[in-house]
Structure 1
Amino acid sequence: AWCQAAAQKFTGGIGSKLCGKFVPLFDYFSLFSSFKTTKRRAALNKQPDAPHLLPALDGDLKTLNFLQEVVDILLAYIVESFDRSTKVIDFHYPNELLQRNNWELSDEPETLDDILISCRATLKYAIKTAHPRYFNQLSTGLDMVGLAADWLTSTANTNMFTYEVAPVFVLLEYVTLKKMREIIGWENGRGDGIFSPGGAISNMYAMLLARYKMFPEVKEKGMSSVPKLVAFTSEHSHFSIKKGAAALGIGTESVICIKADERGKMIPSDLERRIVEAKQKGYVPFFVSATAGTTVYGAFDPLIAISDICKKYGIWMHVDGAWGGSLLMSRKHRWKLNGVERANSMTWNPHKMMAVPLQCSALLVREEGLMQSCNQMHACYLFQQDKHYDLSYDTGDKALQCGRHVDIFKLWLMWRAKGTIGFEAQIDKCLELSEYLYNKIKDREGYEMVFDGKPQHTNVCFWYLPPGLRYVEDKVEKMKRLHKVAPTIKARMMEYGTTMVSYQPQGDKVNFFRMVISNPAATFEDIDFLIEEIERLGQDL
């Protein structure tokens, strides 16, 4: 079976060569493996309950057998995920899926065999986000080194708040954040930063720091001690900017949305106009969030012009590069973030374009020490001041969280395995695929682009007009019917399980497909398949 898989997966006869070398060994090992599997299952059945696993006395063999079974399940799922002949999703409606398996929790423990059945069932109905034809989200793909790092991280099972409990991980975070700041363009990589649970939290951190920088008394006295604050962001920005304002007590009404052009880029003149207008009303502008790679259009705001305005009015400039920040790794595409080095802070999500396993989001801050003074609470049971090592490596007090997951090792280990040039090649390939898709459909019958011109990122936004809709003259009726096309085709994609791509409306525009490519496994043939599948599933609409 391994030889057959190798012959299919490896090109240039490599699979056959591997088989030639290993078949004699497989003849021997197949007998051993069969014996080992039988022994393993027998061991599981003899003592079926989880309490017999480590740390139970003499639980090492039981644990080894159980974990080997789990690894077998995971490896089979991984291989299947990259097989184009398999479904991306085995879709069932929520009520149906609830009834297909017993998902309820019980007072009595299940047997280990039942636990393994639950593992298989969970993966059976999971979305294969590593599948080469999964395009639904900004985070796709599965990197093998990143996966191995995630397994190691969970095995270490430690917390990132102090050097004493996470010495290697804390140092790796220090090294990696410094490298990321160098890539942004901050001199000698100076500054600060932290890995947080997603881009939304990173953006909120930036807003928190901006408020503290302007009004440090807010930390102790609260919002009643400061004047009416206002923040600014593009009308195409991520919802997390408003969500952060709500969480920090600033209020969503205090986030002023700036007009974007037809490509989705913030219009600097409108930003300045709204800043002046807010000041005339007695409000205090304290935060501007520019976007490098908007969620829908993939637009890059003009950072140089925005930074000039922020400097003029003394406002903190943040760059939400959760989606587009990784283009800094590409010599071909990093110009799209020109001016980012002038920002006060930046959000960068390696779990998107760099395909690091979820989650992996960094906030980078230009001013060193600001995060510490903003967030520290001096908990003496964690951050004792008389420890015997350099206390600057106790990073937990600059975070809002106490318990903080180790997200750094996945990125660090992948960077070691790929090098910067490996990430660059991966990112360039995804952008090449998006341009290929754009060129294939821009003049193809039945397709209409949402905006003119080549995509700025890997986002390709388009409508598909089925044959029965192309010649409808009543514009209102046409738009009403077109609004239903993308959701219907998407539902059929999921029911057939062949592929997944997202859709949404935008402003006054009816539902359109938003194709994004971040999956390193995707190829030109997968793009061709997507086009053909959309047409197949939508031809009767």
Structure 2
Amino acid sequence: MLDSQIKNCFIAPDNQNREQVEIIFDNIIKQILNYLCNADNFPPYPPLKIFAASDFSIPEAGFSLSQIQNNLALLFQHSMNPSSSKYIGHMDSISNIYAILGEMIAAAINNNMLSLEMSPFLTQLEYALIREFCDLFGLPRTSGGVITSGGSLANLQALVVARNETLKLNNGNLTNLRQTPVILCSEIAHASVAKAAMLIGIGSENVIKITVNSNFQMDVLDLKQKVMEYFTTEYIPIAIVATAGTTVTGSIDNLSEIAAIAKEHNIWLHIDAIYGGALVFGGERRHLLNGIEFADSISFNPQKWLYVAKTSSMVLFRNFSSMVSNFRITAPYMKEQEDFINLGEITIQGSHNAEILKLWLSLLAIGKDGYHQLIEYGYVLTNICLTEIKHCDYLQLVMEPQTNICCFKIKLTNYEDDFINSKLHDYLLQNGFFVSLPRFQGQLCLRMVLLNPFSSKNVIKSCFSLIDKFYNQHHVKGN
């Protein structure tokens, strides 16, 4: 016979242990809410504690609920805290309530997105929502796509399909190529592009970097030159990768001009809209994505500006049937379907979680108008930041933001720039604010990502008051 403690780790299908299950749920959910509802009382980024491996050892006998809660208390204490209104450093948004519940419900029903048979409702839901996002991005009715676990997988699948379509290699065999395939992208494109090139047999050294202009957008003239340079008997471009929302500055490439170049030379155009794709809900700001409708593939992450818990990503294709023919590997152990292709046959992952559920619930709860409001609020906070930066003659703005990301540097005559910006970053962290410190164009800068709906004008002004205090302290020391 199984020990009752073991059986009570599961929910009995005949209702026999409901009381014990409710006690567990009640205690754990209260603990989660006590943390999240008081997130401003915890540091946005706690000091790093190095644990011993023995702290994570597997017990011989299962822990009691109170012991498990003690371990969860450690988790909360030592975790990044994007729910804090003073966490303004990365593209890690606070999760909306329905995304959190969606993650829990997906785990509870434990359907497998491998096939229609194993996820009859959720497979249809994914196909339907992907259709809606294709429409939002302006893709034709021939389009379609899949949900992926993160943007790197979305970019990877897009470039696999681009390679196979361009080189007529639906089996992925590169051994008989006479030309070296190359990918063209901005010099500040996401690292996942180079990683994908390595994984698909092209090699990261064959990712050709295009220079950027003063707004850190891909330089279209340099792109034209590089396209001509690499259209030879030795090389063949398999894709141009444009970016709608670069990681550090949030810059959006001139998508229409890049699309025209791709069309002229018959090169696959992939647009990494992992961040900026949320602007499809941006109302009057939707024009920033003009040209995205000409893409052959688009990657987008709702886990960022749509406030869906990680991971939530998708890759869309202009020609869905072409993607299927260039990517599908049939699985004989899955029941054949007439109405829907089993998702496990057309994604990199086979068995995978129902990540579509938390996205669906988020969309139902917030709606298009709600997302428009959230995006506009991010721009309100961004403008407050810009005003503060421009009022300080010792701060240098890296670029006028196109999205809700502000990058700037402090400059003091008697200090080396990297040193003083690193000191300022640490000072803000010690005083309860987290901004990130990326190295960009060879120098450290401070980066604010204005995502949190509970960040406010007062929060932003308090942060800049600390920056001013830091400046006054070090300006006096420097002199």
User: Which residue does the alignment assign to 2:211?
Assistant: 259
1:115, CA displacement in angstroms?
Answer: 1.2
Q: Matches of 1:318 and 1:512 in 2, distance apart?
A: 29
Q: Matches of 1:237 and 1:267 in 2, distance apart?
A: 13
Aligned ranges 1:77-88 → 2 under 5 Å = 77-81=35-39, 84=40, 86-88=41-43
Q: Which amino acid aligns with 2:239?
A: F
1:98, CA displacement in angstroms?
Answer: 4.3
Which is further off, 213-222 or 136-145? 213-222
Native 8 Å contact 1:490 1:502 kept in 2: yes
Native 8 Å contact 2:112 2:351 kept in 1: yes
- What secondary structure, in the 3-state scheme, does the structure 1 residue paired with 2:38 have? helix
Q: Which amino acid aligns with 1:518?
A: L
Q: Which amino acid aligns with 2:48?
A: Y
Task: Tell me whether 1:442 sits opposite 2:390 in the alignment.
Answer: yes
Q: Matches of 1:116 and 1:94 in 2, distance apart?
A: 19
Structure showing the higher helix proportion among its residues: 1
Aligned ranges 1:457-536 → 2 under 5 Å = 457-465=403-411, 469=412, 471-472=413-414, 478=415, 481-496=416-431, 498-508=432-442, 510-536=443-469
Q: Matches of 1:247 and 1:539 in 2, distance apart?
A: 50
Which is further off, 228-237 or 51-60? 51-60
Extract unaligned runs of 5+ from structure 1.
1-46, 473-477
State which of 109, 129, 132 in structure 2 corresponds to 1:176: 129
User: Which residue does the alignment assign to 2:49?
Assistant: 94
Q: What count of residue pairs does the alignment treat as equivalent?
A: 470
Q: Which amino acid aligns with 2:89?
A: N
User: Which residue does the alignment assign to 1:345?
Assistant: 297
Q: Which amino acid aligns with 1:61?
A: E
**Distance change (3 Å), C-alpha of 1:50 and 1:494:** farther
**Distance change (3 Å), C-alpha of 1:317 and 1:513:** same
Task: Tell me whether 1:65 sits opposite 2:23 in the alignment.
Answer: yes
User: Which residue does the alignment assign to 1:105?
Assistant: 58
Q: Matches of 2:327 and 2:344 in 1, distance apart?
A: 10
Native 8 Å contact 1:217 1:225 kept in 2: no
Q: Which amino acid aligns with 1:490?
A: H
Q: Which amino acid aligns with 2:161?
A: L
Identity across aligned pairs (percent)? 23
User: Which residue does the alignment assign to 2:174?
Assistant: 222
Q: Taking structure 1 as the reference length, what is the TM-score of the superposition?
A: 0.82
Native 8 Å contact 2:153 2:348 kept in 1: no
Aligned ranges 1:292-371 → 2 under 5 Å = 292-371=244-323
- What secondary structure, in the 3-state scheme, does the structure 2 residue paired with 1:243 have? helix
User: Which residue does the alignment assign to 1:187?
Assistant: 140
Q: Matches of 1:233 and 1:132 in 2, distance apart?
A: 35
Q: Matches of 2:405 and 2:72 in 1, distance apart?
A: 34
1:538, CA displacement in angstroms?
Answer: 5.6
- What secondary structure, in the 3-state scheme, does the structure 2 residue paired with 1:460 have? strand
**Distance change (3 Å), C-alpha of 1:51 and 1:489:** farther
User: Which residue does the alignment assign to 1:163?
Assistant: 116
Native 8 Å contact 2:183 2:237 kept in 1: yes
Q: Matches of 2:253 and 2:315 in 1, distance apart?
A: 19
CA deviations over 1:475-521 (Å, ceiling 9, x no partner): xxx4xx2201232233344444x12111122224x211011112222
Specify the structure having the higher radius of gyration (Cα): 1
Aligned ranges 1:3-82 → 2 under 5 Å = 49-54=5-10, 58-81=16-39
1:140, CA displacement in angstroms?
Answer: 1.4
Q: Which has the higher contact order (CA 8 A, sep 6+)?
A: 2
User: Which residue does the alignment assign to 2:332?
Assistant: 380
1:227, CA displacement in angstroms?
Answer: 2.6
State which of 220, 231, 235 in structure 2 corresponds to 1:283: 235
Native 8 Å contact 1:133 1:522 kept in 2: yes
Extract unaligned runs of 5+ from structure 2.
475-479
